[in-house]
């Protein structure tokens, strides 16, 4: 009996110490983020994106200043807070990245498929990422207002919800495995519950973001790509319907929350 009590006490003390360490480490991460928040390295990407937005480029030697991101040609203020959304000219629901590619193709004459195939931080995809950093900065502090009125927006929301709960792959994971309930954490990182407005706003409202651990700027497409990698699913096609649908699902669930982009992540 004494041995059992002693073992139980040791286990309890060990668990308490572990919890205390985890909490301390979590607090340290929060303090670190706060310390460097004023100098978010994403600002370097933003500056590059501003130059790319205004510079005549491509086969047509035209700038992106007439690109319509949903608020009218050339308007970037508040645009990313209302994306993804339906665009009549393409008859598609598009997120920020796919819409920028459309503008690069139609206005500047670039080959959209080459950008899609390039890979992150490669070729003209690198320009897309920089422009994303520039655009999202102009929605910082604004309310998330992803529309869900057009039939195609509603269809994408439904697809995104199904994708969120789809469970499979060698690890038998889904997005919901990590983001479907409160109180989950991985590597001392709190995981927002995307199924509720508060958690969805924390997830959607802080991406795109600069990732300290990898030392570069990640767009939402790259964030979703990495989620699929961690689930051991095949890599999704860049700007494919399923990735945009997931963004629609998260964005609509997050409506009313605040945009804090570009965020700063571990």
Residues annotated as catalytic are 227
With a CB cutoff of 8 Å and minimum separation 6, the contacts of 206 are: 260, 261, 263, 265
Cβ atoms of 220 and 239 within 8 Å: the answer is no
Q: What is the CA radius of gyration of the chain?
A: 21
Distance CA 9, CA 21 (A): 18
Q: Dihedral sign for Cα 107, 108, 114, 115, please.
A: negative
The structure tokens listed for 18 are 């572990």
Helices (H), the chain: 2-36, 42-54, 96-106, 112-118, 125-137, 151-165, 175-179, 197-204, 220-230, 241-254
């Amino acid at each position: 009996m004494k041995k059992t009590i002693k073992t139980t006490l040791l286990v309890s003390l060990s668990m308490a110490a572990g919890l205390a360490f985890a909490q301390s480490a979590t607090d340290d991460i929060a303090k670190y983020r706060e310390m460097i928040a004023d100098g978010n390295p994403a600002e370097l990407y933003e500056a590059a994106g501003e130059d790319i937005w205004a510079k005549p480029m491509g086969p047509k030697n035209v700038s992106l200043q007439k690109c319509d991101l949903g608020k009218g040609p050339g308007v970037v203020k508040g645009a990313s807070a209302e994306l993804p959304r339906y665009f009549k000219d393409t008859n598609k629901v598009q997120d920020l990245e796919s819409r920028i590619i459309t503008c690069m193709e139609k206005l500047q004459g670039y080959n959209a498929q080459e950008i899609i195939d390039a890979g992150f931080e490669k070729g003209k995809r690198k320009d897309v990422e920089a422009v994303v950093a520039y655009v999202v900065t102009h929605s910082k502090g604004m309310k998330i207002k992803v529309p869900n009125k057009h039939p195609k927006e509603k269809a994408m929301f439904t697809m995104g919800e199904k994708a969120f709960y789809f469970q499979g792959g060698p690890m038998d994971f889904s997005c919901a495995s990590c983001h479907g309930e409160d109180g989950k954490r991985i590597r001392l990182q709190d995981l927002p519950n995307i199924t509720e407005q508060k958690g969805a706003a924390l997830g959607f409202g802080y991406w795109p973001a600069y990732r300290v651990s990898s030392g570069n700027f990640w767009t939402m497409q790259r964030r979703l790509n990495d989620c699929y990698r961690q689930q051991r699913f095949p890599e999704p096609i860049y700007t494919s319907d399923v990735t945009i649908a997931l963004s629609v699902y998260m964005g609509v669930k997050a409506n009313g929350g605040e945009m804090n982009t570009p965020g700063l992540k571990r």
